[in-house]
Each structure stands twice: as structure tokens, then as C-alpha cells.
């Protein structure tokens, strides 16, 4: 799997403010993330979506940032502290074959996996772990880069999600991405 993981140093390019022209976190997430929620950002990199989500959930909410790369999490933690969001954001290192989030079972309102599922060799296991931490009715936004992940591969991932019990709610329009909003 490590051959498929985005290199940690590329994270600096992913937090470039110009990216907002294509992927504005507020526009993409404001319909799903609200104050006081507990949310997960899978593969958050250096926090491009995590920091805006922390502002959305507010001081009574929580954003768990799950990544396999310590360098990404370290930079994310520094950025969160600088933005005074370190009390809301919790970086957590996972392993290559598990998110290691069993302690969050049925405690999460929303999960974001943006341009990361294609990096995971056992997508079914990943999807099962996500489903287990979501509260009943919890939402999961899955988005993959359309120029990097074929529509067939994306649809296969959606089919896996449906097989384990997710329901498709919507296919939000996100620039240069294939996206699906799922519900537990």
C-alpha cells in the first residue's frame, strides 16, 4: 500500500490557497458539517479540509484526522495550533490495514474521504470500519479525483459500500471529482 500513498511532501501543494478555486471546503462541506458534530477526515494530509471542518463544528465539536503518515499529522497539528483549533482537531495515526478507530463506534456524525480511498488496498475493510463508527443516519462523503480514478473503479467502490449496507443519498457535484454522499 505504501507505494500508492501520496508522498508527505506533496501535502504542501494540497494546502495551497489557490485550490479553493476548485475545491472550496465551505461550499463542499457546509451542507453536511454543523456545530457540535463529531467528524472524521480520513487521509487529511496537512488539514486542507480538517481546519475548515473544525471551524464548522465549533468548540463543542470534534474533528478526528486519521492518516498513516506521521509527517502529515505533525504538520496538521502545527497548523491547527496556529489557527487555535488544536482543542477541536485530534490527529490520529492509523496502520496500513486499519483506521484504528474502534473506540469511536457509533459516535461519528460525518466522515469525509477526499481523494484517498483509491490508495487503500482493502477498500471493503475501510468501508466497514467507516460504517461501524457512524451513528445511525450518519453521513459519509466519498470523493475521488476523476482524472486519477476511473469511473468504473469509483462505481465499484460505491457498489462495495452498498453491499455492506450504505445507502446512496446523492451524487454531489465537485469539480474534477466523482463524488457520492452515503448514509448508514
Which triple of cell numbers denotes residue 64?
478526528
Min mean pLDDT across 17-26, 45-54, 91-100, 165-174 is at: 17-26
Burial of 46 by CB count in 10 Å (0-12 exposed, 13-18 middle, 19+ buried)? buried
- Among 65, 15, 20, 29, CA closest to 140: 29
Q: In what order do the strands lie in the sheet with 167-170?
A: 89-93, 62-67, 38-42, 108-114, 134-145, 177-183, 167-170
Tell me the per-residue pLDDT of 38-88, one tens digit each, with 9 for 90 and over.
999 999 988 999 999 999 999 999 999 999 989 889 999 999 999 999 999
Farthest CA pair distance, the chain = 42
CATH of 8-12+24-146+156-183, one of 3.40.50.150, 2.40.420.20, 3.20.20.70, 2.60.120.620: 3.40.50.150
More confident residue, 21 or 175: 175
Contact 28, 174 (CB under 8 A): yes
Please give the pLDDT value at position 2. Answer: 38
The predicted structure's pLDDT at residue 46: 83
Q: How confident is the model at residue 121 (pLDDT cuts 50, 70, 90)?
A: confident
Asked if residue 150 lies in contact with residue 78, where contact means CB atoms within 8 angstroms, the answer is no
* Cross-strand bridge partners of residue 47: none
- Looking at residue 3, what is its pLDDT? 46
Higher per-residue pLDDT: 10 or 121: 121
Mean pLDDT of 126-155: 95
Percent of the chain exceeding pLDDT 70 equals: 88
Question: pLDDT digits over 149-184, tens only?
Answer: 999 999 999 999 999 999 999 999 999 999 999 999
**Where residue 96 falls among pLDDT bands split at 50, 70, 90?**
confident
Cα separations (Å) of 61 from 2, 89, 99? 32, 9, 20
Amino acid at each position: 500500500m505504501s507505494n500508492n500513498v501520496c508522498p508527505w511532501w506533496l501535502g504542501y501543494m494540497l494546502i495551497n490557497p489557490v485550490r479553493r478555486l476548485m475545491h472550496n471546503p465551505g461550499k463542499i462541506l457546509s451542507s453536511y458539517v454543523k456545530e457540535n458534530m463529531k467528524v472524521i477526515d480520513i487521509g487529511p494530509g496537512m488539514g486542507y479540509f480538517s481546519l475548515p471542518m473544525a471551524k464548522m463544528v465549533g468548540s463543542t465539536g470534534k474533528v478526528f484526522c486519521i492518516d498513516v503518515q506521521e509527517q502529515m499529522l505533525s504538520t496538521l497539528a502545527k497548523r491547527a495550533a496556529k489557527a487555535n483549533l488544536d482543542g477541536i482537531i485530534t490527529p490520529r495515526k492509523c496502520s496500513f490495514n486499519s483506521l484504528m478507530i474502534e473506540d469511536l463506534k457509533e459516535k461519528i456524525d460525518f466522515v469525509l474521504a477526499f481523494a484517498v480511498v483509491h490508495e487503500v488496498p482493502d477498500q471493503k475493510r475501510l468501508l466497514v470500519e467507516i460504517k461501524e463508527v457512524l451513528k445511525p443516519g450518519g453521513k459519509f462523503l466519498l470523493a475521488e479525483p476523476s482524472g486519477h480514478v476511473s469511473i468504473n473503479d469509483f462505481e465499484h467502490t460505491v457498489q462495495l459500500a452498498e453491499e455492506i449496507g450504505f445507502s446512496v443519498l446523492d451524487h454531489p457535484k465537485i469539480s474534477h471529482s466523482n463524488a457520492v454522499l452515503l448514509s448508514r
